[in-house]
Amino acid sequence: MHESDCRQWLALAECAGRLAVLKSTPAVNPPLPNFVLIGFMGSGKSSIGRLIAGRLGYRFVDTDALVVRRAGQEIVDIFATHGEAHFRDLETAALESLAGEAHCVIATGGGIVVRERNHALLRRLGFVVLLTATEDVIFERVSRNSKRPLLQTANPRATISEMLAARAPLYEAAAQWMLDTSDLSHREAAEALIAEARRFFSCESAR
């Protein structure tokens, strides 16, 4: 094997290894140059996403904020008035409205993976990263916000545990890379994610 052929083979092997961190189904079209952050509430999507956007000069997009703006209602009011199914419809519509956008950091709602059809939409938008944290860390973070509609239960801790267990396989099915933010500062997480995204898009362009 010539040296140039060897280098190309090694590069492709490295790409294959990195993109197999989680089980994935390749998108029909190459992903756009966006960061797409998924994960449970409290995993750091918005805070880390804003840091990445500022660092790279990208536009930050929060799908929950997009839903609120398009619906003219706060999320808690959408749930109370129309129910979760209607909110999920609005969430999917918000994703679809981002088709063709580039150089964005997109922070998604924690339940965006509940609808399987959203998985393909997420991948078409860009590099899909799953942000995770331990259950203890998640509970500590989300306890600071009393307006989360799905946690208006008698036992929020038990609700979090149940939801994490139910959503874990859905997150993993949609994601192309995973980062545990439990012991990382927002800046450390942002830098790690930027470095991996550069490798991801380099691999994509080599295909």
Whole-structure pTM value:
0.82
The CA-based dihedral angle spanning residues 172, 107, 136, 197, taken in that order and rounded to the nearest 10 degrees: 60
* Tokens 């000069």, residue located: 57
Output the pLDDT for position 28: 45
Strands 127-132 and 104-107: what pairing? unpaired
Residue ranges and CATH numbers for the domains of the chain are: 3-206 (3.40.50.300)
Phi, psi torsion values for 152, nearest 5 degrees? -85, 65
The CA-based dihedral angle spanning residues 53, 27, 129, 155, taken in that order and rounded to the nearest 10 degrees: 120
Output the pLDDT for position 31: 67
| pLDDT tens, per residue, the chain with 207 residues | 444 444 443 343 344 444 434 444 444 455 678 999 999 999 999 999 999 999 999 999 999 999 999 999 999 899 999 999 999 999 999 999 999 999 999 999 999 999 999 999 999 999 999 999 999 999 888 887 666 766 777 788 888 899 999 999 999 999 999 999 999 999 999 999 999 999 998 876 555
At 40 the three-state DSSP class reads: coil
Output the pLDDT for position 201: 86
